[in-house]
Structure 1
Amino acid sequence: MIIIDGHAHACGMFLNTNNVIDYMKRNNIYKIILSAGEPNSKKIYKLPYLAKIFKSSRLIYSNNLLTTIVISVSKMNRYLDQGNEKVALMAEECPEYILNTYWINPLEENCLQKMNDFLKKHSFYMLKMHQCWTKFDMDNIKFIVEWAEKNKTPIFIHLKSKDQVKKFIKLTKEYPGVTFILAHLIGIEEFDNTIGKNVYFDISCPLLHSIKMLKRAKDNFGAERILLGSDSPYGADNINLGISQLREIGMNDKEIELVSSKNIQKILGIN
């Protein structure tokens, strides 16, 4: 079975290309979609499996508050431009293994210009936004969504709160031509069968979402709308745990193959 890690960061075990390739070969990972991470950090976080105890998105919302504080104190969000450049260079060095994202900060007035300038030097497969790193509101990103629609670029987004999840759902219905990927099943309880087929559900960092949440995603939207990821270095063995969770909710091998590779291959147009 082909495994594509649909969401990871260029730090920890993925700090440089040699680390990435070594890890991928040891863990039978075919490709990895890489985003900027904590600058120059080798740290790998061995997180507790709290989702065994806390069954809803409240766990992730609480974790979001902690993340927001850490970013506010550390100012790591100042280094997103350098992170985007680093990941692009890693992808250019190993294009058969690494696909890069562009992490955009909607709070910057010149964010579109910066992204267009970036595209003069590099390419990328996906846009990323994260409300704990840059405190934007879903009401204020339509200009980015319209850019993504025009340029046929998927948007991967980490939402901070239930209120923002509801705004996200509304936005995805306004832009059915844009592919959205919801990080970590955040707020899955708010999604029903009115949601469009342009929305996919990332299951990276399985330590933070429960089996109940994963089953809801599978029952309501099917395996063809779920994407495997690790969120490394936040967890040491997330890909294997994620696949184990898929088996736990009763997915067969064909469905697991969709989640592990075929869905993201279709979205990104890759082999």
Structure 2
Amino acid sequence: MIIDIHAHAAGDYSTVDSIKNMASKYNVEKIVLCTSPKNMQNLKEPPSMPFKQKPDSIYMMNRMNRMAYNHFFKDNGDGNRFVWNLKNQLPEVVIQFLWVNPLDTGHMNNLENNIRTYQPKGIKLHQAWSPFKIDGVEFKNLVDIASFNKLPIFIHLYSKKEVLKLVHFIRGNPNAVFIIGHMTGTDIFSESGVNLKNVYFDTSSSKRIQSSDIKQAIDIFGYEHIVFGTDTPYASIDEQIERIEQLKLSDNIKEHIYSLNAKRILALD
């Protein structure tokens, strides 16, 4: 069984029927779902980039994504409520992560109330969409609230500079739990010397991450710190599974990456 720890309520995960179909087709036990950008539900996998991508390509892509988000995406209502409605209809499959912009006073003023209302299993932050800084007071306030409520933070990091800031932040806040989207900055984390006991790395990406990158992360951080995600609809679930299968890992290691690590992080029975 698979727990997809990184997905958006769009495309194949935008309706009750499509979620059921995906769960059945790919043997997905649970889907950790957050809103798509500005609650757009008709998103599709993006076209291939006209250059060979590397793990560090995400920093350039972040700049492109921020421009698109600010200038081309239209607001489509409350994405957190949309995900909550899907969860209520499929409570056995959908797990909600609350999408938060730390710079939005509305989000922050209502954060604790929204945690009580939506009962999320985690918080989702995206620096390409929300230009908060890791060393900003807004981020620290959010982490304090998340930690108090025992919620992990899934974060999409924007730049190498922000990765370095997060390393410094973790050093001073070792009890906060972070899931790093797209394995961003693994080279920086591996060289930091910081205790990463509460840090996990999500395997999802489009063409940027290869099986060899996942294997390297397993060797450096341990398979207990790698979690499977698809970033649906931005990447193909078939491709994400194939990357893991190509590694010829033991059944025990695959089970941890596909589901057991996520169950531990999310405190699932």
Partner of 1:215: 215
Please tell me whether the aligned partners of residues 8 and 32 of structure 1 are also in contact (alpha carbons under 8 angstroms).
yes
One-letter amino acid of the structure 2 residue matched with residue 90 of structure 1: L
User: Percent of pairs identical after alignment?
Assistant: 29
Please tell me whether the aligned partners of residues 169 and 195 of structure 1 are also in contact (alpha carbons under 8 angstroms).
no
Length-normalised TM-score, structure 1: 0.90
In 2, the alpha carbon distance for the partners of 1:245 and 1:209 equals 9
Stretches of structure 1 lacking an aligned partner (at least 5 in a row): none
Q: How many residues align?
A: 264
In 2, the alpha carbon distance for the partners of 1:121 and 1:56 equals 37
RMSD between superposed Cα atoms in Å: 2.0
- Quote how far apart the aligned CAs of 1:87 are: 0.4
Per-residue deviation, residues 9-64 of structure 1 (Å, max 9, x unmatched): 0011111222111221122111100010143432321543889x33332x111111
One-letter amino acid of the structure 2 residue matched with residue 165 of structure 1: V
One-letter amino acid of the structure 1 residue matched with residue 224 of structure 2: E
One-letter amino acid of the structure 2 residue matched with residue 199 of structure 1: V
Length-normalised TM-score, structure 2: 0.91
Partner of 2:152: 154
Partner of 2:260: 262
Partner of 1:99: 95
Partner of 1:32: 31
Partner of 1:7: 6
Please tell me whether the aligned partners of residues 134 and 166 of structure 2 are also in contact (alpha carbons under 8 angstroms).
yes
Q: Secondary structure at the match of 2:84?
A: helix
Correspondence list, 1:217-236, <5 A: 217-235=217-235
Partner of 1:200: 200
One-letter amino acid of the structure 1 residue matched with residue 189 of structure 2: F
Correspondence list, 1:130-169, <5 A: 130-140=126-136, 141-169=139-167
Please tell me whether the aligned partners of residues 15 and 40 of structure 1 are also in contact (alpha carbons under 8 angstroms).
no
Please tell me whether the aligned partners of residues 47 and 234 of structure 1 are also in contact (alpha carbons under 8 angstroms).
no
Which of 110, 117, 121 is equivalent to 1:121?
A: 117
Q: Secondary structure at the match of 1:45?
A: coil
One-letter amino acid of the structure 1 residue matched with residue 32 of structure 2: I
In 1, the alpha carbon distance for the partners of 2:216 and 2:8 equals 27
Partner of 1:111: 107
- Quote how far apart the aligned CAs of 1:241 are: 2.2
Please tell me whether the aligned partners of residues 55 and 213 of structure 1 are also in contact (alpha carbons under 8 angstroms).
no
Q: Secondary structure at the match of 1:138?
A: coil
In 2, the alpha carbon distance for the partners of 1:120 and 1:215 equals 38
Q: Secondary structure at the match of 1:251?
A: coil
In 2, the alpha carbon distance for the partners of 1:218 and 1:250 equals 13
| 1:142/1:96 CA distance change after superposition, 3 Å | same
Task: Identify the range of structure 1 (91-100 vs 35-44) with the bigger mean alpha-carbon deviation.
Answer: 35-44
Task: Identify the range of structure 1 (28-37 vs 103-112) with the bigger mean alpha-carbon deviation.
Answer: 103-112
| 1:221/1:75 CA distance change after superposition, 3 Å | same
Please tell me whether the aligned partners of residues 54 and 210 of structure 1 are also in contact (alpha carbons under 8 angstroms).
no
One-letter amino acid of the structure 2 residue matched with residue 93 of structure 1: Q
